[in-house]
Structure 1
Amino acid sequence: MYNSRLPTDGSDAPTGVSRAPDAGVFEHTVERHSNERIRLLLKSFGLRTSLIRLKVIDALLTAAESDRSLGVRGLHSQLLDLNIPLSFLSVREVLKRLSSEGVITLNADKSYSLHPQAVAILHNEPGATASFKA
C-alpha cells in the first residue's frame, strides 16, 4: 500500500518529521562531561585516559563524597555493582599505577584515596598542578 508520507528512496524514515533524540545519547553526553575533569587530572599527571582509570577515580570520588574509604576489594565490588565488569587484578594494577604516579594514596588501613594535590586539580583550585617525576 502506498503511503505518501514515506520517502520513495528506499529508506523508511519519514521526512519532515523530527525524531526525538534517544535518551541514551543524553546520558552518554552527561557522563562524558562529568569525566572531563578526571581526564584533565590524568593529563596533568602525564597519564593517558583509559576507561578503567576513569571508573576507578570516579568510584574513589563517590566514596570520598560519602565519607567512605575503599580498598581494592571494596572498589572492585563497587564497580561490579555498577555493572562494570573489570577483573580484580585489573583494578589492583590500576590502583598501583595511580598510586605510583601520585594521583592516589594508599592509606594505613589499606584503603585508597585521592592525593590532596589531585583533589585540588579536580576542584580547579588556583596554583594546583601536578608535579611530574623526573
Structure 2
Amino acid sequence: MYNSQLPTDGSRVPKSVSMNAGTGIFVEKAERHGNERIRVLLKSFGLRTSLIRLKVIDALLNAAESERNLGVRGVHTYLLDLDIPLSFLSVREVLKRLCSEGVITLNPDKSYSLHPQAIAILYSESGSDASLKA
C-alpha cells in the first residue's frame, strides 16, 4: 500500500526498534494522549489528521513554549532530529496548507506560529492555561 509520508527516492526507512518489556507502551500512550488535542484542533478546522500535520503542529507548540520562532527549515530540522523522514518540500507544503486553512500564521520574519484561535482550541481542550496567547 502506498504511503505518501514515506520518502519516494527509493531509500528505505529504518525499522523502529521493537518495544522491550513494555517500556515503549507508556511512551506511546502518552504521545497518543498528547496528540489528541491536536487531532481535535485539526478536526475543528475541517482537516484530516495525518502524521506530518501532527508533528508540524507539535514542533510549533514546542517552539512557542520555548519562546523560539521556527521557519520551514527549523520545522524540518526539528522533525529530522526526531527521526521523522520527511522531505523539506513536504514540510513546506504542509505549513502552507495549515496557513491557508487558518491554523497557523506566517509571521513577517518568515517564521510560523499557531493562530490565536488555534491556541484557544488547543488549550480549552486540554484544560491548561492559555499562556501562549501573549
TM > 0.5 fold call: yes
TM-score (norm 2): 0.77
Quote how far apart the aligned CAs of 1:23 are: 1.1
The answer to whether structure 1 residue 36 and structure 2 residue 36 are counterparts is: yes
Give ranges in structure 2 of 5+ residues lacking alignment. Answer: 1-19, 126-134
- After superposition, what is the alpha-carbon deviation per residue over 1:80-134, rounded to whole angstroms, capped at 9, x for unaligned? 1111111000000000000000000000000000000000000107xxxxxxxxx
Correspondence for 1:124: 124
Give ranges in structure 1 of 5+ residues lacking alignment. Answer: 1-19, 126-134
| Identity rate, percent | 78
By percentage of residues, which structure has more helix? Answer: 2
In structure 2, what residue type is equivalent to 1:86? L
Quote how far apart the aligned CAs of 1:21 are: 5.5
In structure 2, what residue type is equivalent to 1:42? L
Correspondence for 1:78: 78
Partners of 1:27 and 1:74 in 2: CA distance? 25
Q: Of the two, which has the highest radius of gyration? A: 1
TM-score (norm 1): 0.77
Correspondence for 1:106: 106
4+ long deviations beyond 2 Å: none
Partners of 2:66 and 2:27 in 1: CA distance? 23
Partners of 2:93 and 2:43 in 1: CA distance? 19
Partners of 1:62 and 1:95 in 2: CA distance? 16
Partners of 2:79 and 2:107 in 1: CA distance? 20
